[in-house]
Each structure stands twice: as C-alpha cells, then as structure tokens.
Structure 1
Amino acid sequence: MMLHIFALRLAAALAFGMFIGAERQWRQRTAGIRTNALVAVGATLFVLLSVMVEGDTSPTRIPAQIVSGIGFIGAGVIFKEGFSVSGLNTAATIWATAAVGALTGFGFIPEAGIGVAMILIANTALRFSYRITHSTTEELDLDYRMVIICELHDEHHIRSVLHSMLTADAIALVGLSREEADKPDQVAVIARLRMQQGHAVKLENTIARIGVEQSVHAVHWEIAA
C-alpha cells in the first residue's frame, strides 16, 4: 500500500471520528471528540494492518476482533444509578464509530461518510422520538444554579472541593463565578450546572457533602431561568 493512501485513510478516519465526537461533546457526554477520533483511527489502523500483511490471512478477521474488543470501551461509559441506566447511547456511538473506522481502513471512504451521517442523524433527529413516545421528562437536560456562601479566605478551597465533587457525580459544570455576600468577610460562589432533570438527587448529595465544610455557611440550588 502506498504511503499517501495509508495517510489519507487515517486522516479520513480522524475527521469522521471528530465529527461524531463533536456531537457527543456538545451534549456533555462522557465520550467526546478525542475518544471517538481515537476509536475511528484505531479501528482503521487494525484494518490497514490486515490489508497490508501478505500471506494466507483473511482481511475480515481483524474487523471481527474489533467488534468484540470495542465492547470493553463501551462498557466503560455505561453507568447504573438505581433503576436508571445512562451511557447506552454513547456506548452504541463508540461501537458505530469503530465500524466507520473499519470501512475507512478498507478504502470505502464514501460509504464511511454515509455512515457518519447516519450516526449523527440517529443522535440528533431521532433524539426527539423519545420525547414523543415517552411522557416523562427525565432525559431532558436542564440548567441549574448552585449558590454557596462561604468564608472569603477559603473561597479557593471551596471551588476546588466543588469541582472535585461535581466531577465524581458526573455533573457538567457550565460556569463558575463569584458575587459579594451580605457580610464583608464572606463570598457567594455561583456554579452553573447542566444535567438531566430526573437526576436532581445528585445535587442534593453534593449539597449535603459540601455543606459540612467548616467555612460554608449556606448552600442551595435552583433551576436556572
């Protein structure tokens, strides 16, 4: 295989993976641009290897192993909380991205491009089908506002603790700011958050944990206007 063809297929796989990952990252999902790009490039590399190796080898053998191996990555983005399971769509997207990479590796670049379009349609246009067929709003993303009143001298520590807690609870931090409190030695730390409406219990857990900090005087949350 000519080197420029090798590079072209890898570049196409990288672009396809980035397109798919951009939509996931925009929705604050676990696997974003880098993850999907790496999955597509990795699948392409394995396929290119099977194509370039001379001898009595079946080119379809390695793609079959990719289908099995990608399940380990997909399992890593699936989370279970109570009776609800999240991350299934992201795992399916990773699996489909690997298929796009395999197509690209074999040189079926136009077909891979169509596959990317179908994946994006499934993750965007078909997203509204859930709202049509289900009356619950648990899957709707909402913006929340958390206000923490703490000692002025301990503001940096509270910000750090809050960031760690939000990361552990898989709550997306959209913005972090400060406002003056009623007392001169206190400050209001304002966090703008985004998460699914049905998972508001996560905020209660975060508030309960950060509320025990010695320098925190008050903390509450509300749905952002």
Structure 2
Amino acid sequence: MQALHNIDPSATLNTLISLFFAFVFGSVIGLERQVRQRTAGLRTNALVAVGAAVFVDLAIRMNGVDGSTRAVANVITGVGFLGAGAIMKEGVNVTGLNTAATLWGSAAVGACAGASFLVEAALATLFVLASNTLLRPVVNHINRSPLSSVSSEATYHVYALCRRDDQSEVREHMVRLLEAAQYPVRAVQKNHFGATDSEIEVILYATSVNAEELDGVVQRIEELPSVLQAYWNAGTTPAG
C-alpha cells in the first residue's frame, strides 16, 4: 500500500520539527497581534505559518527542490487572497493593510520552517515583530510632528453634521457633490457628535480652491434633508 510505503520515520521527524517551529514562530507573531486586538491574531497567524510549512514540506517530500519552489509560489498567491480578505474599504478609507502584510510575513516564516531553514524562519520572525513593534513609535512620532510651511501645502476639510442613522447616505452625497465640482476626495472620516448625531469629515486632495465655488458646494451639502450643518476649513498636508 502506498500509505505504508510513505512512512519514513526520519522524514516524519523532520516534518514534526518543521511544523513545531512554524507553530512556535507563527504564534509569537500572532501573540503580538492578539495583544493589540487586531483582526488576525494568535490563532490566525499560527495557522498561516503551519499551513505554509505543511505545503512546502509536502512538496519537498513529493517532488524535491523543484516541487518546493512551485509550492512557495502558490503559498504566496494563496496568502495574498487571504490578506485581501483582511483589508477593509469603507468609502475611500482603507484599513487592514498591516494585518494583511503580517499574514504574508507569517506565511514566509512557515515556508522557511517547512523547507527546514529554521534559523531563517527565526530571523524572519524577529523582523516581522520588529516591523510591528519597534517601528510603531517611529510612525507615531512622524505623524505627530508639526510640518513646516516649506514642506507642506494647503489641504481642505469639508464637514457635515447629520443624524447618525443618515450618515452613510450623507457621506455618499458629499463625495458625489465634491467630485462633481472637481474636488477629488482623499479620505472620509466619521465621528460621533453627541448622543444621536455624527460629524462626517471629507478630506480633499491638496489643491487650489476657489472659496466661493467651495462655499457653493458646501451650501448644497447643507441643503440636503439629512444635514443639520455644513462648513469647510483649510489645513496643511505634506508636499508631494
């Protein structure tokens, strides 16, 4: 029987070691995500790493190095689809990119472990963790640093206050009216305002603005049945 013929204690032990380290390294990455309460946490990252290790190890045992090369390519493609499911798009706002990238890193760690490159898997784990931890305060510092007038240019924010139940409809109307007036939207944010209302903030791409023209667009937004108040103001954004 083929199943009995495939039993090889030495190869099985090697598989066990590969999967064990894939599980450990994936869990270490996932633990950091779980502590921060991200969508893909401890179990998800561990499963991605172990799954990648299984496919690569199986490909090596079946087809040698050539088979493992194809398996790694397919793992990359498959995890790409998995990561796409972690990316959420609401209007023009996109979240989950870091979660998707972390899953990709976990798959790389698992592929290294599955190919029996345990030191490389450990190094990959360290760098994935460093990206998610050591770089966080750097990013926060950059985002909170004030911009000089030399390195920044004007950007504009349009606000509308509406009932919370109507915020999705109001957001769509705002984006449509602004883009019809040739003011492309960069991002949309929603904030609670009191117990029943919401404030919708539309951030425009940095561009020159005709104040009277934008006033007219804001007036049309304010005339929407669901809008209680609308206004705009100017800020700064990094010069491209």
Alignment check: 8 A CA contact 2:57 2:68 kept: no
Of 135, 139, 142, the match for 1:133:
142
Task: State yes or no: 1:37 paired with 2:46.
Answer: yes
Alignment check: 8 A CA contact 2:75 2:107 kept: yes
Structure 2 distance, partners of 1:103, 1:16, is 11
Aligned equivalent of 1:116: 125
Runs of 4+ in structure 1 off by over 3 angstroms are 54-58
Aligned equivalent of 2:69: 60
Structure 1 distance, partners of 2:125, 2:64, is 32
Question: Counting helix residues as a fraction of each chain, which structure ranks higher?
Answer: 2
CA spacing shift, 1:56–1:115, aligned 2, 3 Å: closer
Task: State yes or no: 1:46 paired with 2:52.
Answer: no
Alignment check: 8 A CA contact 2:26 2:45 kept: yes
Q: How does 1:21-36 map to 2 (within 5 A)?
A: 21-36=30-45
Unaligned runs of at least 5 residues, structure 2 = 1-9, 146-187, 198-240
Unaligned runs of at least 5 residues, structure 1 = 137-197, 210-225
Alignment check: 8 A CA contact 2:39 2:99 kept: yes
Q: Which is higher, the Rg of structure 1 or of structure 2?
A: 2
- Percent of aligned pairs with the same amino acid: 45
Return the offset for 1:45: 0.4
What is the letter of the counterpart of residue 19 of structure 1? V
Alignment check: 8 A CA contact 2:83 2:100 kept: yes
Q: How does 1:167-206 map to 2 (within 5 A)?
A: 201=191
What is the letter of the counterpart of residue 69 of structure 1? G
Deviation track 1:161-195 (CA, whole Å, cap 9, x = no partner) reads xxxxxxxxxxxxxxxxxxxxxxxxxxxxxxxxxxx
User: CA RMSD of the aligned region, Å?
Assistant: 2.6
Alignment check: 8 A CA contact 2:86 2:100 kept: yes
Structure 2 distance, partners of 1:111, 1:93, is 17
Of 7, 10, 13, the match for 2:22:
13
Aligned equivalent of 1:72: 81
Q: How many residues matched?
A: 147
